[in-house]
Amino acid sequence: MQEACCRAGREANSVRLLAVSKTHPAETIREAVAAGLTDFGENKVQEARVKIPNAPRQAHWHFIGHLQSNKCRDAVELFEMIHSVDSLGLAQEINKRAAQLGKTMPILLEVNVAGERSKFGYPPEQMLAELKAINALPRLEIHGLMTIPPFTLVAEKSRPYFRQLRELKARAEAILGAPLLHLSMGMSGDFEVAIEEGATLVRIGTALFGERRSLRPATT
């Protein structure tokens, strides 16, 4: 990460490492916290509900998976940021639950930059169209954008999608008349390219923890 920042002429502390701990047990989180990691990402509310209460309290939790409206209440309770808001309806539900819990929820808008049918996320123009309505929800704070580019083994192929997300952030800032803090982009295989294109949050699982485990019943 530091080398990529250096190549891009960015400060090393301008990018945060989000350790994606999905499928790994609370014990792994304890080891990671002991090694100095502070920010963790999970993609399933059910798994997080078991894991987070058993994890060290220094850990900060980000939700990075697809969120169903019936899981919003738990998500608002458990997480400090939700990276995957991709409709006004979902934003309204999170806003409602945050109000009930007396919280304000930082969110990122997930954009399906490549327009893949198999993926969640806003089509870019629709995100821009709904931006003001989401920004008007009192219990939400839009902190930026997130994307998952098409799967590839060649990191360089992700670059155009990362660049498009950065350009979309600039357009969103113009609409809102305010800066957005975050670009959540880059995973184990392509985080260096993402950093060169402006990522502020990289979401890394395999490169930190090894292959994901198969999910076992909620005893872990």
Ligand X SMILES: *Cc1c(COP(=O)(O)O)cnc(C)c1O
> Which residues here bind ligand X, judged by CB under 6 A?
20, 22, 43, 64-65, 148, 187-189, 203-207
Nearer to ligand X, 137 or 149 (CB): 149
Nearer to ligand X, 129 or 207 (CB): 207
Tell me which residue has its CB nearest to ligand X.
Answer: 205
Give the position of tokens 């990276």.
Answer: 83
Nearer to ligand X, 142 or 146 (CB): 146
Which of left, alpha, beta for 134 (phi over 0: left; psi -120 to 50: alpha)? Answer: alpha
In angstroms, the Cα distances linking 49 to 33, 42, 79, 149, 218 are 19, 10, 10, 28, 10
Locate all alpha helices (DSSP H) within the chain, ordered by sequence: 2-7, 26-34, 45-51, 72-78, 88-101, 124-135, 159-176, 191-196, 206-209
Q: Least CB distance from residue 27 to ligand X, whole Å?
A: 19
Nearer to ligand X, 139 or 198 (CB): 198
Nearer to ligand X, 43 or 158 (CB): 43
Q: Least CB distance from residue 65 to ligand X, whole Å?
A: 6
Nearer to ligand X, 146 or 180 (CB): 146
Q: Least CB distance from residue 190 to ligand X, whole Å?
A: 9
Q: Least CB distance from residue 175 to ligand X, whole Å?
A: 25
Q: Least CB distance from residue 138 to ligand X, whole Å?
A: 27
Tell me how far apart the 2 most distant CA atoms of the chain are, in Å: 47
For the record, the structure tokens of 119 come out as 């993926």
| Reduced DSSP (H G I as helix, E B as strand, rest coil) percent helix, strand, coil of the chain, to 5 | 45, 20, 40
* Long-range contact set of residues 28-35: C-beta below 8 Å, sequence gap at least 24: 28/209, 29/55, 29/56, 29/59, 30/55, 30/56, 32/208, 32/209, 33/58, 33/59
